[in-house]
Structure 1
């Protein structure tokens, strides 16, 4: 659907009317197995010589539609869905790195991801070096001959820092290292990292893509631009794979990464997305641009209210004139900077607690990207696994409160924030 624009693709990409039932909407295929044409066809499927459905752990027709749609929206050659955004990150990492390898990652990311990368991957023998995403020299300085990937969030969790996508991608390209951009907070509507050089894009579809706090899901999009063939950093792709009769994945060209991720990593670890969840995510994506526009509009108005409130000590929102990320936001996020950001109240931690406990409309939950407005205290919840040093490096203080602004009437959101602030600082 390359001739169509974004809003058309989000409704139609990946699906043609099913020939048997003529269903206009993508069907939900609740099946785990598929009948093979004959023995020879089955053998060729398992040898990756033939395309087709084998088992729903590897692919499913409903999931295929979701993957094709998100790949099209992001400008990639293919995508693969997972049971969660966390699974998408983990599977991507071990599709690139093995014991003894290294990854360089931003320290301004979701706390659970820092724990997974810094603790769980470490147990597997993969070392992750965390850097300040704004310090381009730090990215360069932490690259070694063992580095297999660079990883960052386009808009960081929780403080809404904006990564210099193009600059980081140039560093990766200079060293022959793929760059992974987590675009969960931005979605393809606000930013398409592949256009700025990213090799792979990750989404926690649980958030804005689904948009309604109903199902979990993760998606990895392959740009098809990273060349594994002949790259000495990646013997996994250039040496015959014993589990697939000696296939050399680098020989698959633009689809090498996504093919290996599906055929080998997902086959062995099994973190596949439920077809039902894929069906629900497709429903969410059909209204993605409309929701993201409203999310951004509402967030702008809420930020304006907070900026005028004398009880507010700081706001981390990248489109503010005095934000250190204003220029990057203008460059990478012309349609809006999203609706997840942080702020603080004068009075510190206890005032922040009182504020959260006084809210009536906003929901106190460990999620973002919902049609509902949400609130949480990162230091004691989403980023509580981090040490004091890690929290400081990520710019998270005891008074930091994270908001995810939803689609309610802005006057109601602001009224709830106002009454909660007054109670907290009284």
Structure 2
């Protein structure tokens, strides 16, 4: 018999023992036991697939990746610690050294911070364009451009992107299109069906749905051919020196090479790892995604229609409304319903009292919460100009359709009657 201290660490568990759980388990471990040194060497050299170290992935995470890839109709996926991390590792992996990005002006404020400041620190230039202007997209593309980036439904004004039009521009330029589908969700729209090559999500939002766990994911649709112009994509088509003399494109091919690069380099080196527990919680949320999104979508449209007729509201930015500029695109791309995240502008003058008017409305809400999040079971508001988009200049906010009177609303699962009554009470203070 072994001694006490050995038994307290090893007794009762044999690594690799299969179980028959009905739901995905949490593999809450940092590391994995290898069958042999040869087995370990093969895993580290990417000659074999398997569990390496939880900084790269965990079995719980891998279930999450396969599930989201299936929902988006993709070939593979990589899950990371947050939506911001998903955007960062995706663009870093695609751009490589000396590359350039063309991105929509209408983006979440944190993404703009990443692109215009941190990527600038990395020496990666980014050109911002009006997402609704095809000529602007074309004019911004340079020989060194390596990716086009936009949101399917922009946060916070809910502009609907003409995904097919931008995808055609990207295809003509020979570069991939990356779409952030956080607000769209794979239930409402699957960008890959309209020409997008990569789809990213902040899984913290609708995929999770309960506001407890951070996470992000990128889905490779398997549609972009890095081998067609190998000189433009040396990180895929030249020998991957850190692990051997093979190329990722030759070894893994379409739909898998990108995931191999992201996990073995960018997640491995930078460490934005998704914890097994958070992966498990997001998996629980995904099981009710369609039910939640369908109800939130209906609630948001009911609120938008009510606000449209309210004398204290100047404009409602919801593509489900017939007078909205993006209504035709919503009918084309969102047959199951519009977004549950949208904004409205208060009918107050832009002067020294504007901030006070906005604050009185926001601070008096009782059912709807002031929270810097979206896609939660709870209904939430946000003031973009002083919160999520506060780092942008006044010109950038105007280009994105955001004013000092804009309030973003994320409709939750509460009764719409209570939410409308709460807004009506608050709007009497305008």
Relative to the length of structure 2, the TM-score reads 0.93
**Cα root mean square deviation, aligned:** 1.2
CA distance in 2, matches of 1:278, 1:151: 26
Residue 319 of structure 2 aligns to a residue whose secondary structure is: coil
1:218 to 216, 219, 230: 216
Aligned to 1:208: 206
Residue 52 of structure 1 aligns to a residue whose secondary structure is: coil
Aligned to 2:123: 125
Aligned to 2:253: 253
1:406 to 401, 412, 419: 412
CA distance in 2, matches of 1:265, 1:356: 40
CA distance in 2, matches of 1:324, 1:246: 53
CA distance in 1, matches of 2:338, 2:124: 33
Question: Offset of 1:351 from its aligned partner?
Answer: 2.0
Residue 173 of structure 1 aligns to a residue whose secondary structure is: helix
Matches within 5 A, 1:128-207: 128-207=126-205
CA distance in 2, matches of 1:99, 1:124: 10
The answer on whether the counterparts of 1:98 and 1:126 sit within 8 Å (CA) in structure 2 is no
CA distance in 2, matches of 1:135, 1:98: 27
Residues 1:373 and 2:379 aligned together: yes
Q: Where in structure 1 do 4 or more consecutive aligned residues deviate above 3 Å?
A: none
Which whole-Å deviations, capped at 9, do the CAs of 1:396-419 have from their partners, x for residues lacking one? 111011000111001000000000
Question: Offset of 1:186 from its aligned partner?
Answer: 1.4
CA distance in 1, matches of 2:418, 2:318: 21
CA distance in 2, matches of 1:299, 1:379: 21
Aligned to 2:268: 267
Residue 242 of structure 1 aligns to a residue whose secondary structure is: coil
The answer on whether the counterparts of 1:99 and 1:124 sit within 8 Å (CA) in structure 2 is no
The answer on whether the counterparts of 2:187 and 2:289 sit within 8 Å (CA) in structure 1 is yes
The answer on whether the counterparts of 1:153 and 1:181 sit within 8 Å (CA) in structure 2 is yes
CA distance in 1, matches of 2:117, 2:95: 15
CA distance in 2, matches of 1:277, 1:59: 12
Larger radius of gyration: 2
Question: Offset of 1:247 from its aligned partner?
Answer: 2.6
Question: Offset of 1:99 from its aligned partner?
Answer: 4.1
Residues 1:386 and 2:385 aligned together: no
CA distance in 2, matches of 1:233, 1:384: 36
**Count of aligned pairs between the two proteins:** 407
Which whole-Å deviations, capped at 9, do the CAs of 1:327-372 have from their partners, x for residues lacking one? 1101111111121001011114332221101111110011111111
Which whole-Å deviations, capped at 9, do the CAs of 1:211-245 have from their partners, x for residues lacking one? 11101000000001110014232122121121121
Residue 104 of structure 1 aligns to a residue whose secondary structure is: strand
Which whole-Å deviations, capped at 9, do the CAs of 1:121-171 have from their partners, x for residues lacking one? 011000010010000110110001110100000000110000010110111
The answer on whether the counterparts of 1:98 and 1:125 sit within 8 Å (CA) in structure 2 is no
CA distance in 2, matches of 1:233, 1:154: 27
1:75 to 61, 73, 76: 73
Aligned to 1:238: 237
Aligned to 1:3: none
Relative to the length of structure 1, the TM-score reads 0.94
The answer on whether the counterparts of 1:344 and 1:352 sit within 8 Å (CA) in structure 2 is no
Q: Which runs of 5+ in 2 are unaligned?
A: 1-15
CA distance in 1, matches of 2:152, 2:205: 15
The answer on whether the counterparts of 1:145 and 1:233 sit within 8 Å (CA) in structure 2 is no
The answer on whether the counterparts of 1:152 and 1:182 sit within 8 Å (CA) in structure 2 is yes
Residue 232 of structure 2 aligns to a residue whose secondary structure is: coil
The answer on whether the counterparts of 1:131 and 1:138 sit within 8 Å (CA) in structure 2 is yes
The answer on whether the counterparts of 1:201 and 1:221 sit within 8 Å (CA) in structure 2 is yes
Of residues 198-207 and 32-41 in structure 1, the stretch that sits farther from structure 2 once superposed is 32-41
Question: Offset of 1:100 from its aligned partner?
Answer: 2.6
Residue 313 of structure 1 aligns to a residue whose secondary structure is: strand
The answer on whether the counterparts of 1:194 and 1:223 sit within 8 Å (CA) in structure 2 is yes
